[in-house]
């Protein structure tokens, strides 16, 4: 099913993200993770694409497994380091596997990357245009409530986001954030700018102290005082930190829903138990 249809049909949706393994010998254990996560009945499950375009086959394989579990897959695809032939071939495989949903991304610029003379893709909107020609895909894109790190400023970032959406995006998924007011303000700014597509809120449950440092470095997101307090109190005790992180994420989702946000994407980091606990904490809200 197309994610655009799911977002229209369901009052609230909660979806999960998985990442594929880096080596083939780990594919079975990732498939097992997918099967366990599917038991929590997410609205759909996304599968990431390896950094710098590596491991396209792994992404397809995991997307197929998601489909086999009866869950709608969303396949990520990055373009920066790809040729047009490569993108055509991946789009062909997606079609032959009946995978209708693609998250069209540029990908991060790898360290030391020198743009070749004949660079096909510089930005995600070019991939959106290409995918529109290659099939009847439901296409999503990324957005950044706290501004993409490469952007000069918010005005520029918003303008480029509007241009990308106008190429034919069906929905946006946000970068993770810990402060709901940041996301709610961002959605308002999008609407003022005329960006009308559904904007899915990206939530990352932080379940250990190591993860928080890396997450903040990579995502550039701000951390509210309440979250720092939780870290100070529980970071040394793994079980307590995990429980506190799950509850923080669940509360964040409930607060977003109370503020009219109906579509949530959880960066579940291949942790079925975390996904399950969050879903249990929301069960009456989702099914009500
Ligand atoms: P773009 O939309 O192209 O934006 C990148 C930057 O360029 C922004 O600063 C934007 O303002 C600017 N820009 C856009 N158009 C123009 C223009 N015409 N002129 C000048 N500037 C412009 N990475 C992976 O490798 N694999 C994944 O699976 C993956 N999944 C992700 C999922 C989500 C929900 C998110 C939020 C990110 C994900 N990423 C993934 C990371 C993503 O690839 C990086 O953040 C990347 O740096 C930007 O990708 P984008 O698609 O947002 O790019």
d(CA 140, CA 212): 27
Q: What is the pLDDT of residues 15-51, one digit of tens each?
A: 999 999 999 999 999 999 999 999 999 999 999 998 8
Active-site residue (options: 17, 100, 130, 146) = 17
Centroid of chain to Cα 236: 29
Both tokens of residue 27? 């594919």
17 is catalytic: yes
Nearest CA to ligand 1 atom 10: 157
How confident is the model over 180-236, as pLDDT tens digits? 999 999 999 999 999 999 999 999 999 988 888 888 888 889 999 999 899 899 999
Distance CA 84, CA 82 (A): 7
Count of CB atoms within 10 A of residue 220's CB?
A: 13
**167 Cβ neighbours under 8 A, 6+ residues apart:** 125, 128, 129, 132
* Token pair recorded at residue 97: 């596997």
CA of 242 to the centre of ligand 1 (A): 30
> pTM here?
0.97
Residue carrying the six token digits 């070019």: 126
């Amino acid at each position: 099913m197309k994610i655009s249809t799911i977002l229209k049909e369901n009052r609230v949706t909660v979806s999960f993200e998985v990442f594929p393994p880096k080596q083939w010998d780990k594919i079975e254990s990732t498939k097992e993770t997918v099967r366990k996560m599917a038991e929590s009945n997410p609205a759909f499950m996304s599968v990431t694409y390896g950094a710098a375009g590596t491991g396209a086959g792994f992404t397809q394989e995991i997307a197929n497994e998601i489909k086999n579990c009866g869950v709608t897959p969303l396949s990520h695809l990055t373009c920066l380091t790809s040729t047009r032939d490569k993108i055509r071939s991946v789009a062909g495989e997606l079609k032959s596997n009946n995978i209708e949903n693609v998250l069209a991304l540029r990908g991060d610029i790898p360290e030391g990357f020198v743009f070749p003379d004949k660079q096909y893709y510089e930005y995600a909107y070019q991939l959106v245009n290409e995918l529109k020609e290659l099939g009847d895909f439901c296409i999503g894109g990324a957005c950044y409530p706290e501004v993409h790190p490469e952007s000069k400023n918010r005005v520029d970032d918003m303008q480029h986001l509007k241009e990308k959406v106008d190429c034919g995006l069906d929905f946006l998924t946000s970068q993770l954030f810990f402060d709901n007011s940041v996301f709610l303000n961002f959605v308002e700014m999008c609407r003022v700018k005329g960006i009308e597509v559904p904007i899915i809120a990206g939530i990352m449950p932080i379940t250990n102290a190591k993860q928080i440092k890396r997450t903040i470095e990579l995502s550039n997101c701000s951390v509210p005082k309440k979250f720092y307090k939780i870290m100070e109190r529980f970071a040394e005790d793994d079980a307590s930190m995990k429980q506190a992180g799950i509850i923080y994420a669940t509360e964040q989702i409930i607060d977003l829903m109370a503020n009219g946000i109906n579509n949530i994407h959880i960066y579940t980091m291949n942790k079925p138990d975390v996904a399950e606990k969050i879903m249990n904490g929301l069960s009456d809200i989702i099914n009500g």
